[in-house]
Amino acid sequence: RITAETPGQVFVEGQSCLYISGEYLQIDGLHFRNGHTPGKAVIQFRDSHGQVANHCRLTRIAIDHFTQPSRHNRDHWIEFYGRHNSLENSTLLGKSNRGPTVRVFLKGNENI
């Protein structure tokens, strides 16, 4: 379990992203602001090698105006891969560039 010492007061800023892979992981209380992802998504339920997450939870996450400098650049804030993952009690606010805010990938058996 990864929990902010003071939920909502741990800020992730600048060019940042979070990859989650494994099972039964919980990420709680992070706040993304004042920046953007350098890649395709702010948070992905898989790692850079394509290993997906299963039974993982994001709780009390805030992504606040964490948007690309150009509104024509496409990204997603959260990409779901794997099985039985969830986003709970979170805030997604101020996305102003192209691309859906949350995307769920169902391609492949690992995502059913």
How far apart are the two ends of the chain, measured CA to CA in Å?
24
Residue 108: pLDDT band with limits 50, 70, 90:
low
Q: How many domains does the chain have?
A: 1
Q: Which two tokens stand for residue 76?
A: 């997603």
For the stretch 8-37, pLDDT in tens is 799 999 999 999 999 999 999 999 999 999
Q: Which residues contact 1 (CB under 8 A, 6 or more apart)?
A: 25, 26, 28
Q: What does 31-45 look like in DSSP terms, one character per residue?
A: EEEEEE-SSSEEEES
For the stretch 67-99, pLDDT in tens is 999 999 999 999 999 999 999 999 999 999 999
Give the predicted TM-score (pTM) of the model. 0.92
Specify the pLDDT at position 57: 98
Q: Facing residues of 46 across strands? A: 52
CA count, 13 A, side-chain hemisphere, 39:
13
Specify the pLDDT at position 100: 96
Q: Which domain holds residue 18?
A: 2-111
